[in-house]
Structure 1
Amino acid sequence: MRKWLIPVIVIVAIAAIIGFWAVGIKNGAVAKNQNVSKTWGDVQTAYQRRNDLIGNLVNTVKGAADFEKSTLTAVVEARAKATSVNVNADNLTPEKLEEFNKAQSGVSSSLSRLLVSVEAYPQLKANENFLKLQDELASTENMIQTSRVRYNESVVDYNSYILTFPNSMFLGKYKEKAYFNAVEGAEKPVEVKF
């Protein structure tokens, strides 16, 4: 064997090992990015379920009570605003996520006012359809919370992967994803008035 061939083989072997290692890092980033996209889709699905239920709830309330129109209008308008804000999983910037979060908190707020004001209508509280919808909404809010937590967990995993050294050397085009944060004022207790 020729002496010059040994260093060439060693260099080629080292280059191949580094190449496979870099490919492994990129493939890992792709998998983690796909997981973030999937969990973001779960968040959107949970919010869509709530939006679908709100339409049924509003119609049930309209049909069962001579209800305050301003409260119903606020719920419908908040729902329309929330469905108009679209955030793509590839563009999960803090600003976009905050805009989405604010729109969804408007729905939560107006929905809470609706459910509190229902207390003045005993025939509505006894309505079986309304009770089922109220239970579904409570279940959906829990699903939304769970989806948001899972989304944040996937973002931690993704961000940690792309930002740690040496992965960050190979993953320059991968950008950090934003987390779901509580909406402004969420730390204050909800005041219920009858």
Structure 2
Amino acid sequence: MIAPNKRQDLNKNADTSPKVSAFGKFFWYLTFILIIPLFIHIGNVNKLKKMDTKVLESESGIDVQLKRRRDTLIKLMDTVKGSINFEKSTLEQVTNMRMGGGAKTMMENNKVLDQVSRNIMLQVEKYPDIKSTELFQSMSRSINEIEEDIAASRRIYNSNVSTFNQSIQVWPLNVAGSSIKAKIKYFFEITEEDRADVKIGF
């Protein structure tokens, strides 16, 4: 049996608020206030890193197609060089083309390959026998298919770049972008004026 006075001691603090120091309250609320933005910031950083990875993946897709296009053009030039006199510098320029290097370098490469492809076709127009060969026709189809693949890869890349660029320019993602030193990325863009700047002769 519990003595009556002991029962009273058990309930002596009933219906009262617990004692909390002012420092304890301040420290807890400060931690609570700081930890939420921290988790949001970490989430934003991870989100931007995932977006950046998607941009790099789609950039790699364009680069793969440009490599295919360069290799096919080299084979095409090798096929017709017995009948058409190409400038040595043209073949060397295409053969030694540095692939990769980001969107800016890829746009420059694409300009050169556009002009080379166009000039090859103009030269071949003068040689009906070459145009009629099965090998030439097969390579021409391959080039057209690769150009369509480049256009598709370019659309995917530009879509990913657009999403990334918009994200790092709005709050609070711009804060996360600044912490990982993110930069606005190039769009893969080719204009007729750009193509006209490149002069490659045969």
**TM-score of the two chains, using structure 2 as the length reference:** 0.76
**Aligned-partner Cα distance in 1 for 2:60–2:195:** 27
User: Judging changes above 3 Å, is the alpha-carbon distance between structure 1 residues 147 and 47 closer, same or farther for their aligned structure 2 residues?
Assistant: same
- Kindly report structure 1 stretches of 4+ aligned residues shifted beyond 4 Å: none
60, 72, 83: which is aligned to 1:53?
72
Partner letter of residue 128 of structure 1?
E
Correspondences of 1:108-123 after superposition (within 5 Å)? 108-123=114-129
Check whether the contact 1:118–1:124 (CA below 8 A) recurs between aligned residues.
yes
Q: Residue 52 of structure 2 is aligned with which of 5, 12, 33?
A: 33
1:182 is aligned with what amino acid?
Answer: I
- Letter of the 1:87 counterpart: G
Unaligned runs of 5+ in 2: 1-17, 197-202
1:107 to 113, 123, 130: 113
Unaligned runs of 5+ in 1: 189-194
Q: 3-state DSSP class of the match of 1:120?
A: coil
User: Which structure's CA Rg is the greater one?
Assistant: 2
| Per-residue deviation, 1:181 | 2.2
TM-score scaled by length of structure 1: 0.79
What secondary structure, in the 3-state scheme, does the structure 2 residue paired with 1:84 have?
coil
Give the Cα separation in 1 of the matches to 2:133 and 2:74: 17
- Structure 1 residue aligned with 2:12: none
The alpha carbon displacement at 1:117 in A equals 1.9
- Equivalent residue in structure 2 for 1:79, among 94, 97, 101: 94
SS at 1:24's partner residue?
helix
Identity of aligned residues (%): 21
Q: For the Cα contact (< 8 Å) 2:111–2:190, is it kept in 1?
A: no
